[in-house]
Structure 1
Amino acid sequence: MPNLNEINTILKDILEIDTSSFTESTELIGALPEFDSMAVVGVITALEESFGFDIADDDIDATIFETVGSILEYVNKRNL
């Protein structure tokens, strides 16, 4: 199962910021200026490539990107 470090690595690569202090409760949308619409697209693409699943447009919901933990939870549900 994917873990916090894997999600943080993806976020570090896409956002080009230090994510070493990110926890599951770290807020993303609305809290980080770097986490804009282009970053969301980049994260979606990276999640698909890293974990081997496709994310349908209908599945995309802002709640997935509220926190690092919400991304991790989404990915873990997809990988069951």
Structure 2
Amino acid sequence: MTDQAMIENELRALLRDCLGLSQQRVDAFDADTGLFGHLPELDSMAVATLLTEMEDRLGLVIEDDEIDGEMLESFGALLAFVTAKRQAG
């Protein structure tokens, strides 16, 4: 499995666990699947939980100025953010 595939699987597991989504639903996410503003489960409180879990489970440090609406707009945008953070790490 490639690093990209591993990151994608980890991110899907995080979304499933943090938002209480089914595995089937998370597996259906593609790059264009809307997240914040599209998933009722992803409200402002869930965003805080998700970011904390991303740091803990993926070994990331997310600075406040890195958090914006674009990062959480779609699954593809969040995946690109996590991938860039892991590669810079």
Q: TM-score, normalised by structure 2?
A: 0.81
Runs of at least 4 residues off by over 4 Å:
none
1:1-80, aligned counterparts within 5 Å?
1=3, 2-18=6-22, 19-80=26-87
CA RMSD between the two structures? 1.3
| Bigger helix fraction | 2
> Does structure 2 retain, via aligned residues, the 8 Å contact 1:10–1:43?
yes
Higher RCO (C-alpha 8 Å, min separation 6): 1
Structure 1: stretches of 5+ with no match in the other structure = none
**How many corresponding residue pairs?**
80
TM-score (normalizing by structure 1): 0.89
Gaps of 5+ in 2: none
SS of alignment partner, residue 70 of structure 2: helix
Deviation at residue 56 of structure 1 after TM alignment:
1.1
Letter in 1 for 2:69: A
Percent identical residues: 36
The one-character-per-residue Cα deviations of 1:15-49 (angstroms, maximum 9, x if unpaired) are 10121211222111111111100111111011111
Contact 1:24 1:69 in 2 (8 A): yes
